[in-house]
Amino acid sequence: MGTEFSNEVIEKAYARWAPFYDFVFGALFSRARRAAAEAAERVGGRVLEVGVGTGISFPDYSRSTRLVGVDLSEPMLRKAQEKIAELGLNNVEGLSVMDAEHMAFPDNSFDVIVAQLVVTTVPNPEGTLDEFMRVLKPGGEIVLVSRVGADKGPRRVIEQWLTPLTRFLGWRLEFPWTRYERWVEGRDAVRVIERRSMPPFGHFSLIRFGKVKTSAAPDQRLEAHAAG
């Protein structure tokens, strides 16, 4: 699973993206970034942004929200540090170079984990989601912005055909919702809170998982509330 991806491939891809990432993705994903920040702030507490990149999402949070950012790409984090200094973002507690699957935080460290356009880029998505759960406090939420691939049909065929190109760019197209469902089914402490379509093109979703203290029944864990 995910053998076509490696941290080295990801680092190289995002080193290429760093100089113009904000220009390409700024307006394109602005609505999704705001939705993720709003979801995180409804929970409150301390927020970890995994794959924070250039810090493009930082201005979407209120100045009272405590933020920590990690990313595998040092060139991207240099851009984020410049943004913090330029905008005077004193609510950002720190930035660190870290592998999303092996983070140097104690268990139950954060109230919210936000990961935007991350899960479909890492070598081991399920292992990365497990790591999010480890550092998340019980009662907290994982908030994802992620492209959801097709399970079947012509779009699925096109996604598979484009895989070599998107791998070079640093992400997967072929990541269907059933893969998230299988991950949830195998973990008693996870429930799906929301899956909401996001622009561009409706191929992206805001996805919220909750970490519960006790096991939930399978039908409860897999219930997603569509909104918007």
Fold of 7-221: Rossmann fold (3.40.50)
Domain ranges of the chain: 7-221
Residue 13: the pLDDT is 63
Per-residue model confidence (pLDDT) at position 38: 98
Residue 39 makes CB contacts below 8 A (sequence gap 6+) with: 141, 143, 194, 206, 208
- Count Cβ atoms below 10 Å from residue 83 Cβ, excluding itself: 17
Residues in Cβ contact with 8 at an 8 Å cutoff, skipping those fewer than 6 apart: none
The predicted-structure confidence for 192-206, as pLDDT tens digits, reads as follows 999 999 987 777 899
Amino acid at position 102, single letter = H
CA 31 from centre of chain: 15
Query: Which residues are CB-neighbours of 198 under 8 A, at least 6 positions away?
Result: 31, 32, 35, 145, 204, 205, 206
Instruction: Mark the ranges of the chain whose per-residue pLDDT is less than 70.
Output: 1-6, 9-24, 26, 149-174, 214-228
pLDDT tens profile 179-195: 999 999 999 999 999 99
Partners of 142 in beta bridges: 113, 209
Query: What is the model's pLDDT at position 154?
Result: 60
Give the model's pLDDT for residue 157.
44
User: Do residues 157 and 129 make contact, with C-beta atoms less than 8 angstroms apart?
Assistant: no
- Predicted local confidence at residue 2, as pLDDT: 38
Name residue 147's beta-bridge partners: 204
